[in-house]
């Protein structure tokens, strides 16, 4: 799918928006080593972004609400004619007045309860997610691993939508940083990814359990995993309840090495090591020889808890075969073809 949403794209950063030069030039402040060099260059070549008179693009400059309204307005080919607005702080003299009015009428952007628009306020990452989601009529949502967003946030479904469209993959520490202010470079990256599949990014497979849910297993008896809402050295701490009434705690985390599972103040093992490639072998415990190998990936596996996609199969030298699903972790383990552990319910 080359373009998933058909738009008449006339999204142009012009001199009326940022005081930009009418003629695009080589940007003196955008080296090829810049993280978003290709995305910004793509927008420049499409006539979507231009430079300033001093031949800079100022990739780290922050984007205001008025500027965002113009960008989105031109993306959607809305009426940008300057005119009176419904906001007390946006007159017809404001260069963005027409686009602000049109974007509000289109349901893409909103004002504030006090009747203001606050055109000079810088937009944040969560606000950018809302704008992109609404502008491109995104509806499909994905589970997200970000530890700093919650269902109580207005932006929550919109962040999930730009994730499923591969417009963002967050940061390496599994945060989205919703309140960080958006720069021209970051907004350009979001837009380039929304317009062109070549620039989309993939969310890495996340095997951490959802801390808002309870996981039930059959493991020679009924077992429940309940998240303990307390800090533990950058690990997720879970209380495990056995059918016998006994309890103990386990910890899990994921980093650039992979998905790790262990016990508080004790050892841990790398259950799924990156990269996810069939044939990838590693020593799970480090000093203790216990070799793991990815023997299959992208599987569909069904347990009593449901059918899971993109499952990774890991086999140990002891003959155990375990299956790990995104946002769930372990869903099943077998030995010599016999199931020894299985996820039965998530609630």
Q: What is the pLDDT of residues 195-204, one digit of tens each?
A: 899 999 987 7
Residue 14 has pLDDT above 50, yes or no: no
Are residues 172 and 252 located together in one domain of the fold? Answer: no
Is the confidence at residue 4, as pLDDT, over 50?
Answer: no
Say if 5 falls within a structural domain. no
Nearest CA among 305, 300, 347 for reference residue 323: 300
Mean pLDDT of 87-100: 95
Is position 240 within any domain? yes
Regarding whether 186 and 44 lie in a shared domain, the answer is: yes
125 & 238 share domain: no
Same domain, 166 and 21: yes
The pLDDT tens digits of the residues spanning 37-69 come to 999 998 788 777 777 899 998 999 999 999 889
Q: Is residue 210, in this structure, part of any structural domain at all?
A: no
- Percent of the chain having pLDDT more than 90? 64
| Same domain assignment for residues 96 and 27 | yes
Residue 20: pLDDT over 80? no
SS3 call for 288: strand
Tell me which of 199, 224, 251 is where a domain ends: 199
Would you state the pLDDT for residue 342?
Answer: 97
In a domain, 165, yes or no: yes
- The confidence score (pLDDT) of residue 43 equals 79
The backbone torsions φ and ψ at residue 97, rounded to the nearest 5 degrees and listed phi first, read -55, -45
**Within a domain: 10:** no
261/188 same-domain check: no
pLDDT of residue 123: 97
User: Are both 58 and 176 inside the same structural domain?
Assistant: yes
Do 238 and 195 lie in one domain? The reply is no
For 221-258, write each residue's pLDDT tens digit: 999 999 997 778 888 999 999 999 999 999 998 888 88
Helix axes 184-195, 125-135, angle to 10 degrees: 30
| Mean pLDDT of the chain, nearest integer | 87
Structure confidence by residue, pLDDT tens digits, 64-85: 999 889 878 877 889 999 999 9
d(CA 251, CA 227): 10
Contact predicate 97/84, CB 8 Å: yes
Instruction: Band the pLDDT of 259: cuts 50, 70, 90.
Output: very high
pLDDT in tens, 262-288: 999 888 889 999 989 999 999 876 555
Residue 295 lies in domain: 215-346
List phi, psi (to 5°) of 330: -65, 130
Q: What are the C-alpha distances in Å from 221 to residues 216, 248, 263, 336, 341?
A: 10, 15, 20, 20, 9
**Is 238 in the same domain as 276?**
yes
Please identify, among 146, 174, 199, the residue that sits at the C-terminal boundary of a domain: 199
Same domain for 287 and 195, yes or no, is no
Residue 191 has a pLDDT of 86
Per-residue burial over 329-340, b = 16 or more CB atoms within 10 Å of its CB, e = otherwise: bbbbbbeeeeee
pLDDT at 332: 97
What is the pairing mode between strands 338-346 and 329-335? antiparallel
* Final residue before a domain boundary, out of 170, 199, 228: 199
Asked whether residue 204 is domain-assigned, the answer is no
Same domain, 220 and 192: no
**Same domain as 219, residue 193:** no
- pLDDT average, residue stretch 295-319: 94
Sheet of strand 258-262, all strands in order from the earlier edge strand to the far edge: 268-273, 258-262, 247-255, 236-242, 222-227, 215-218, 338-346, 329-335, 320-325, 306-316, 288-303, 281-285
- Residue 19 — very low, low, confident or very high, per pLDDT cuts 50/70/90? very low
The answer to whether residue 68 sits within a structural domain is yes
Domain membership of residue 207 (yes or no) is no
Decide: pTM greater than 0.85: no
Which range (54-63, 158-167, 284-293) has the least confidence? 284-293
What's the rounded mean pLDDT across residues 1-27?
A: 39
Total number of domains constituting the chain:
2
């Amino acid at each position: 799918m080359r373009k998933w949403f058909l738009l008449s794209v006339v999204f142009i950063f012009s001199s009326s928006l940022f005081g930009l030069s009418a003629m695009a030039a080589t940007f003196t402040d955008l080296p090829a080593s810049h993280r978003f060099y290709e995305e910004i260059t793509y927008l420049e070549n499409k006539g979507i972004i231009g430079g300033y008179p001093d031949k800079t693009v100022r990739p780290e400059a922050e984007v205001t609400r008025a500027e965002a309204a113009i960008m989105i307005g031109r993306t959607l080919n809305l009426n940008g004619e300057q005119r009176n607005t419904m906001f007390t702080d946006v007159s017809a003299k404001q260069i963005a007045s027409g686009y602000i009015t049109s974007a509000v009428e289109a349901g893409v952007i909103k004002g504030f309860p006090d009747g203001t628009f606050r055109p000079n306020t810088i937009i944040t990452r969560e606000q950018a997610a809302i704008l992109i989601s609404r502008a491109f009529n995104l509806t499909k949502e994905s589970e997200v691993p970000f530890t700093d967003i919650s269902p109580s946030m207005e932006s929550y479904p919109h962040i999930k939508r730009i994730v499923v469209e591969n417009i963002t993959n967050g940061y390496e520490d599994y945060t989205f940083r919703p309140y960080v202010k958006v720069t021209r470079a970051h907004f350009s990256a979001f837009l380039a990814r929304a317009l062109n599949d070549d620039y989309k990014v993939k969310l890495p497979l996340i095997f951490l359990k959802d801390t808002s849910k309870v996981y039930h297993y059959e493991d020679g008896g009924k077992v429940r995993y309940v998240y303990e809402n307390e800090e533990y050295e950058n690990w997720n701490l879970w209380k495990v309840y056995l059918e016998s009434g006994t309890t103990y705690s386990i910890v899990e985390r994921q980093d650039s090495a992979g998905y790790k599972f262990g016990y508080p103040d004790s050892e841990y093992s790398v259950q799924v090591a990156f990269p996810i490639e069939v044939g990838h072998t590693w020593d799970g415990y480090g000093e203790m020889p216990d070799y793991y190998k990815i023997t299959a990936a992208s599987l569909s596996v069904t347990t009593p808890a449901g059918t899971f996609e993109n499952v990774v199969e890991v086999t140990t030298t002891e003959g155990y075969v375990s299956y790990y699903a995104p946002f769930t972790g372990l869903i099943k383990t077998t030995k010599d073809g016999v199931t020894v552990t299985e996820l039965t319910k998530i609630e």
